[in-house]
Structure 1
Amino acid sequence: MNTNALWGKVVARTLLALGLRHAVVSPGSRSTPLASALADLSGLDLAVALDERSAGFHALGIAKATRRPVVLLCTSGTAAANYLPAVIEARLSGIPLLVLTADRPAELRECHSGQTIRQVGIFGTYPVWETETAVPSSDLSQLRSARQTFVDAWQRAQGPLAGPVHLNLPFRDPLAPSVAEVGFRLPKGFDLENFCDVPEPLTLVPKIKPLDVVSRVLGAEFGVIVVGPHAPANRAQLAAAIRELAGLTGWPVLVDGAGTLRGDLVDSGVLVASYDLILRDTKAQKMLRPDAVIRLFDLPTSKTLRAWLADTDVPTVLVGRPGENTDPVHSQWTRLDAELVPGGAGASLALSPLQKLWRQHETKALRRLQKTSGVSWAFEGCAIPLLAEALEANDRLFVGSSMPIRDLEWFWHPTKPSAEIFCNRGANGIDGTVSTALGVARDGRRTFLLCGDLAFLHDGNALLLAKDFVGSLTIVVINNDGGGIFNHLPVASSKNFEKLWGTPQGVSLGKLCSAFGVSHQVIKNWNQFSREVSRGSIGVRVLEVVTNRAKDAAHRQKSFR
């Protein structure tokens, strides 16, 4: 036993008492005192990730699924820098992380002591809170200070502005718990279990009822309710609240594809899922123009919807995401920092004329979308309705950025309550896609990842996590050998398109998976795809769907013209 070992035990057991259940650690020397203490905890799920960038996103995925802070621990030096993309995503999507970076003490900084960089402030403005702890001491007052700091960090990560908290942790030698320290003594009468037995905190979230939301848009008759990407902790409660809100207003509910509620609201009569295609028609844009908007969560992906909302510039009420401006279209808006819950108001069950009008447009648009995705050849969009048919309400679906998230918006039309949907739509990047999905799937629930080949390759090191993975993750890779989204942009006509934007990699995904010991299968047809996604699996497997990037882009452009 030594000072660092005692400090590590105090911190680890305090975190366990607070409710910590998951930690992701990357190997290194300077973080040894706390890594050892975490590994000794009973009841803690400890993942070890060699690549810190992958580790950061893996922790992010676990936090998304569990909705509670996850500890992320690394050694000193550039290890911490690799956390930055995940810290950014956590901050912009409001996901609680406890980012712990081990460091050398002050006397070894700014003198080229090796594996030492400026770590305080390394994540810029993205942590919701940041501080540096004192060098560990066995003095009782210093141990109390450490305990208090971690309790504070745990609570700050969960709100009121939820997100990543960064604690920089300087350690002097000796680092290993087994190394004796001359002069070390436990504080007199010190009882570790009693000292760390802090009360588990309770985070209270303000609630708001539909009637209170409606009171902010009194007098508006021709509005819309827009629901962005979401994976609510209580999906039945939120679905009931939105039904009530739609009944009180008589407005339709436009739900993003990256939202669990598309399936939960499918029999409500108020759901509109084809808004992107509907609003591509200029007559429909004018006919359906709202005089007020109620928004929940971030905006959906659709540029068409965003442009329509920006053009209207009408009173807008945003519910959720406390403390942040999440309105990129700069509406005439106000924010209600609360969780929408049912209020039991006597809302109308009959569809209003406005809801019926939107449903008429929805029916026509759905027929067009079903025709677009109903082809027999290997069109990327065909995978979406087949997944919607195969996945159950207890399953999870993680959707990668770029084309998959857009295909989901167009073609995800479940006929029943379907999978819980997750995505990284804070910064909208492709980095960490596989690592995040592995985190989401870590608790054992059947999980699917839909991503492109570039997103899969960009996070190839995530497959290192497959060796010790005990959950169920099926990775569906749409392999169009490049960045399909760029085929839809003006740069597609550039003479340097393939080199700069298309970027075909020509990598054998089968050989890559084999190197990591991951099961891989090339899908030959859609019947085979349906069979594979319908069956259960243990561990990680990859289903590769080979498509033609140019042909797919032409098909979408022709269909949506």
Structure 2
Amino acid sequence: MSKPISDKPIVKALVELCHLHGVEQVVISPGSRNAPLIISFAGYEKFECLSIVDERSAAYFALGLARETKKPVAIVCTSGTAGLNYAPALAEAYYQQVPLVVITADRPKEWINQADGQAIEQPGIFNNFIRHQCTLPLSGGHKDDEWYMNRILNEAFQKCTGTIPGPIHINVPMREPLYGKTVYSDSPARKIEVLTGDSQLSADAISLLTNELMRYERVMVLTGALHHDPALKQALEALAAKGVVVLTETLSNLNSERFIQNMDRVVSTISEDEQLFFSPDILITLDVPVLSKMVKKILRQRKPHIHWHFTNQTYVTDTYQSLTRMIKGNAPVILQQVADQMPPREKRFHDTWNKRTLQSTERHHQYFEKLAWSDLKMFNLLSRQPLPAMQIHLGNSTPVRYAQLFSWSDSHQWYANRGTSGIDGCVSTAAGAAHAAQLPVLLIVGDLSFLYDSNGLWHKYLPPNFRVMVVNNGGGGIFRFIPGPAETEELEQFFEANHSHDCRGIADTFGLDYTACHNEEEFTAGLENFFAPSNKPALMEVFTPNVESGKLLKKYFKFLRNEL
């Protein structure tokens, strides 16, 4: 290391260990107490250092970046309330199992609670949403300080990228002066290696699972939000070929004719009297969240006899109140082993689901023959376009639910912040993914979510193939069709947060091309230019009616059930 960096030895060691444990990108927010960290990360020359002012946006940007690269990303901020802004993204990363290295600069301990500036209790501020936390020793002047620091940092990084990856918090108290630099001789930090392998079950355990499957006729695999995983798809196709029903969502990134796709489109047609015929004896789930409230409701009412849940977590997840077996290990490998040993079974359960899928698909297409302009119509038109291969990121609330109802090209990859399902970081997360993605990135987001996170565009890292589609129906459209809010007099002001803002000024401020669409004709005509190659990112604002959109979605589900 020949370039001058901070003269604080603790910071040098921290930066080196970040590099040794796979960090390649560092998202930095401005400050003074974090000056030694800024100087050292920027001076080390082995990192891509990105500057994002808004800490909340910076953390979500890092989440999208880490999820895309599948490598830990560091985020660095100054002391005080700056770090508190990381909390929403850390909660999301924790439940998505995305590795983030959170580094907060801090004041010396003796100045905490002494009416000094930006001096708050920082250790433990993220306790509920991190895999590990540590505070580095202040001085770094004794060899035992350096040994202790090396040990606790190696432990932290192992928790960040281990079997269950996730965010870690490294708190770094520092005394002034903060801007001193020096050139160190070559004495690299020591990395402690941990060797792990894919966990498989024994032959006896596989036989136990296979025998349990054979005792029951109706077996279902339920999948939620997943990364594209060819090994998992192969294992699930093998199970489906032998009569197992596999339910997928758009976010599952599992496309196959053997699977029941567009889950809500099918499940919404199942009456209470029919639930028994569609409910499994054995339910198999993975350690990822499922979006569909409809399927959750049925499975909680008609509980399976057996529920296997694949997880490497230490806590018990019993979403359907019927858990009988937690299975730790590599889920695709274990499911493939089970599929290989399992003989073909009766396909009556599988055929029941397939028949209902065909019926609901036919009704789905009939509904759109004369549908008026609305949120639902917009998604239908978009799903029928010959879109290029791309990543599509969905904002929470309505976009992620509308997308579930349509069939899309196999060339798309789907993402959403479904770890905690908040609306607060959709733009920033998509922007972070776009910075590293090989494919173009499209974000489809509601107006409230976009306005809430418009700072996600406040940086210079948006690639020219980044596209944002804002569905502006004048408020929180989801409250028009979920039970409860629509019947209250507080709907428009407090639930829907009705407004008359548009996004043109935001697009102009951050340098995005802007297009507005107010009806089907404008939308269809504008799509070609919107997706055309450009030297700038682009934003399309699609204005839809709020009251009518909610009514048409309710009618859609009634039509699928043949009630209209």
TM-score using structure 1 length: 0.89
Q: Deviations over 1:273-327 (max 9, x none)?
A: 2445434431432322221111123342222111100012221111235324333
1:363 matched to 2:358? The reply is yes
Gapped regions of structure 2 (runs ≥ 5):
559-564
Q: 8 Å contact 2:210–2:341 — kept in the other structure?
A: no
Q: 8 Å contact 2:309–2:323 — kept in the other structure?
A: no
Query: What's 2:288 paired with?
Result: 298
**Aligned equivalent of 1:273, options 262, 265, 277:** 262
Gapped regions of structure 1 (runs ≥ 5):
none
Q: 8 Å contact 1:18–1:199 — kept in the other structure?
A: no
Q: CA deviation at 1:513?
A: 1.5
Matches within 5 A, 1:72-111: 72-111=75-114
Instruction: Go from structure 1 to structure 2 and tell me whether the alpha carbon gap of 1:63 and 1:94 turns closer, same or farther (over 3 Å shift).
Output: same
1:531 matched to 2:537? The reply is no
Query: What's 1:352 paired with?
Result: 347
Q: CA deviation at 1:373?
A: 4.8
TM-score using structure 2 length: 0.88
Q: CA deviation at 1:429?
A: 0.7
Instruction: Go from structure 1 to structure 2 and tell me whether the alpha carbon gap of 1:275 and 1:403 turns closer, same or farther (over 3 Å shift).
Output: closer
* SS in structure 1 of the partner of residue 130 of structure 2: coil
* SS in structure 1 of the partner of residue 129 of structure 2: coil
Q: Which whole-Å CA distance do the structure 2 matches of 1:238 and 1:539 have between them?
A: 37
Query: What's 1:474 paired with?
Result: 467
Q: Which whole-Å CA distance do the structure 1 matches of 2:413 and 2:211 have between them?
A: 31
Q: 8 Å contact 2:434–2:463 — kept in the other structure?
A: no
Deviates more, 1:529-538 or 1:114-123: 529-538
Q: Deviations over 1:87-120 (max 9, x none)?
A: 1111222221111111011121120111111111
Matches within 5 A, 1:128-167: 128-167=131-170
Q: CA deviation at 1:138?
A: 4.2
Q: 8 Å contact 1:228–1:259 — kept in the other structure?
A: yes
Instruction: Go from structure 1 to structure 2 and tell me whether the alpha carbon gap of 1:253 and 1:12 turns closer, same or farther (over 3 Å shift).
Output: same
Q: Which whole-Å CA distance do the structure 1 matches of 2:5 and 2:251 have between them?
A: 50
Report how many aligned residue pairs link the two structures.
541
Q: Which whole-Å CA distance do the structure 1 matches of 2:222 and 2:24 have between them?
A: 35
Q: CA deviation at 1:477?
A: 0.8
Query: What's 2:507 paired with?
Result: 513
Matches within 5 A, 1:194-213: 195-196=188-189, 198=191, 204-207=197-200
Q: Which whole-Å CA distance do the structure 2 matches of 1:529 and 1:254 have between them?
A: 35
Q: Which whole-Å CA distance do the structure 1 matches of 2:326 and 2:402 have between them?
A: 30
Q: Which whole-Å CA distance do the structure 1 matches of 2:7 and 2:269 have between them?
A: 62
**Aligned equivalent of 2:236, options 239, 242, 249:** 242
1:116 matched to 2:130? The reply is no
Q: Deviations over 1:399-419 (max 9, x none)?
A: 1110111112222x12x5232
2:147 maps to amino acid:
R
Instruction: Go from structure 1 to structure 2 and tell me whether the alpha carbon gap of 1:123 and 1:532 turns closer, same or farther (over 3 Å shift).
Output: same
Query: What's 2:562 paired with?
Result: none
* SS in structure 1 of the partner of residue 169 of structure 2: strand
1:319 matched to 2:313? The reply is no
Instruction: Go from structure 1 to structure 2 and tell me whether the alpha carbon gap of 1:545 and 1:371 turns closer, same or farther (over 3 Å shift).
Output: farther
Q: CA deviation at 1:478?
A: 0.7
Q: Which whole-Å CA distance do the structure 2 matches of 1:530 and 1:348 have between them?
A: 49
Q: Which whole-Å CA distance do the structure 2 matches of 1:114 and 1:461 have between them?
A: 26
Q: Which whole-Å CA distance do the structure 2 matches of 1:543 and 1:115 have between them?
A: 40
Query: What's 1:332 paired with?
Result: 323
Q: 8 Å contact 1:272–1:358 — kept in the other structure?
A: no
Query: What's 1:25 paired with?
Result: 28
2:538 maps to amino acid:
R
Q: How much identity, in percent, do the aligned residues show?
A: 26
Q: 8 Å contact 2:515–2:526 — kept in the other structure?
A: no
Q: Deviations over 1:37-67 (max 9, x none)?
A: 1112334222211111111111111121122
1:491 matched to 2:485? The reply is yes
Instruction: Go from structure 1 to structure 2 and tell me whether the alpha carbon gap of 1:358 and 1:496 turns closer, same or farther (over 3 Å shift).
Output: same
Q: Deviations over 1:191-240 (max 9, x none)?
A: 23xx23637766544246996654553411112111111114xx221110
Matches within 5 A, 1:34-73: 34-73=37-76
Query: What's 1:402 paired with?
Result: 397
1:458 matched to 2:452? The reply is yes
Q: CA deviation at 1:449?
A: 0.8
1:333 maps to amino acid:
T
1:380 matched to 2:369? The reply is no
